[in-house]
Amino acid sequence: MQGQRHILLIVGGGIAAYKSLELVRLAQKAGFAVTCVTTRAAEQFVTPLSFAAISGRRCYRELFDLTDEAEMGHIRLSRAADLIVVAPATADLMAKMAGGHADDLASTLLLATDTPVLIAPAMNVRMWNHPATRRNLATLRGDGIGVVGPDEGEMACGEYGPGRMAEPAAILAEIERRLRKGPLAGRRILVTSGPTHEPIDPVRYIANRSSGAQGSAIAAALARLGAELVFVTGPATAPRPEGVQCIEVETAREMRDAVMAALPVDAAIFAAAVADWRVENAVTSKMKKDATGAPPALRLAENPDILREVSRLEQNRPQLVVGFAAETDDVIANATAKRERKGCDWILANDVRPDTGIMGGSENAVTLITAAGATEWPRMSKEEVAARLAREIAVALGAVT
């Protein structure tokens, strides 16, 4: 198919190889052509025939296969793809890549290629944490090789920790992100999302009802337009956007530090429902009821206003800063005043009175407030709000006309 994107999938020898079959299936469904290469060790787990059957293409195995050299030399095989994906990337395969070995088809392809490479490591937690693997990982990253995962969790060997291969859907999201071309390609955009939790003691905290759904949807919509995302989220219940770099924080102060560390960015969207106050007299041991039954007095201190701080930066101010105004009364007047007060470029105002069902719900009704005035958008799903906002951002950044 003309214009079809092509992945060369190198399957290393690990139990996670069975998940690579699912990756082939998902990638094909997403429109990719996938050619598979198995290492000898991979064939102990899944047969080349399975990969050939699912990919609908020949699965390559041996370096010194004369037919292959006549039909498709290894150099051509390694360069015909838009992206080479190594999944699972075993500790051994990573070591070979880092050392520049070329003693079988997989390692030779990886050494001969000038195509971008993405690896999905999978190994026992101790192997992953071993200094040799750490060194190899640093070398590979330094060579410009992309890494997705590994995940943390229970492993086939019975141990627990980082080392499980990333799920096929997450690998595919990363593949799409790397091959993405879109109006926002090359732009870096920050999105904050979710509530913050402000501790009272080790078991209690102050929070709010934000689910993080709107922030996740905005990050996903911007990523779909090709932007590189930095997604800073508090403890939200909404799923994290796939294929987006996520920085998890708990408190407003942690969110502020993560935001500042992420600068410079081209645009910053502050969708988080940051707690305005934290408990100044939070304690590190659980509070007990005392004999008098008198409730403890919580002393509140103001949290940093991240949106205001970023909007007023003299250096590194993003070209476009967008805030949200969740209001229950006089939505437009309050949001317009908020835009001035914060110093941001746009405010997306929404009515969060409980009867609207917006806070924590799947729909949103927003008004976009810019220097030019207020534009009311019809009530629509949070995904549609996100897509429309992403388009407006692309226009504001001059990425589309």
Q: Which residues are catalytic?
A: 157
Asked if 306 touches ligand C5P (CB under 6 A), the answer is: yes
The pair of three-digit structure tokens given for residue 185, joined into one six-digit string: 């390609």
* Contact pick of 55, 113, 133, 192 for ligand C5P (by CB under 6 A): 192
Site string for ligand C5P, 273-302 (x = CB under 6 A): -x-x--------------------------
SS3 content of the chain, % helix, strand, coil (to 5): 35, 25, 40
Asked if 195 touches ligand C5P (CB under 6 A), the answer is: no
* Contact pick of 323, 364, 390, 397 for ligand C5P (by CB under 6 A): 323
* Contact pick of 272, 349, 359, 387 for ligand C5P (by CB under 6 A): 272
Q: Where are the alpha helices (DSSP H) in 30-147?
A: 48-55, 66-71, 74-79, 91-99, 105-112, 125-129, 131-142
* Contact pick of 167, 305, 383, 392 for ligand C5P (by CB under 6 A): 305
The pair of three-digit structure tokens given for residue 348, joined into one six-digit string: 């997306």
Least distance to ligand C5P, CB of residue 26, Å: 34
Q: Where are the alpha helices (DSSP H) in 57-112?
A: 66-71, 74-79, 91-99, 105-112
- Contacts to ligand C5P from residues 251-270, by CB under 6 A: 252, 270
Per the CB < 8 A criterion, the answer to whether 15 and 156 are in contact is yes
For ligand C5P, which is the closer residue by CB, 108 or 367? 367
Least distance to ligand C5P, CB of residue 252, Å: 5
Residues whose CB is less than 8 angstroms from the CB of residue 332 and which lie 6 or more positions away in sequence, other chains included: 349, 367, 369, 374
The pair of three-digit structure tokens given for residue 319, joined into one six-digit string: 């070209």
Ramachandran category for residue 158: left, alpha or beta (phi over 0 → left; psi -120 to 50 → alpha):
left
Per the CB < 8 A criterion, the answer to whether 121 and 88 are in contact is yes
Least distance to ligand C5P, CB of residue 258, Å: 12
Asked if 366 touches ligand C5P (CB under 6 A), the answer is: no
Per the CB < 8 A criterion, the answer to whether 21 and 52 are in contact is no
The span from the CA of 374 to the CA of 367, in Å, is 6
Least distance to ligand C5P, CB of residue 254, Å: 12
For ligand C5P, which is the closer residue by CB, 236 or 272? 272
The span from the CA of 88 to the CA of 50, in Å, is 16
For ligand C5P, which is the closer residue by CB, 38 or 311? 311
Per the CB < 8 A criterion, the answer to whether 344 and 325 are in contact is no
Least distance to ligand C5P, CB of residue 274, Å: 4
* Contact pick of 110, 140, 217, 325 for ligand C5P (by CB under 6 A): 325
Residues that bind ligand C5P (CB under 6 A): 192, 252, 270, 272, 274, 276, 303-307, 323-325
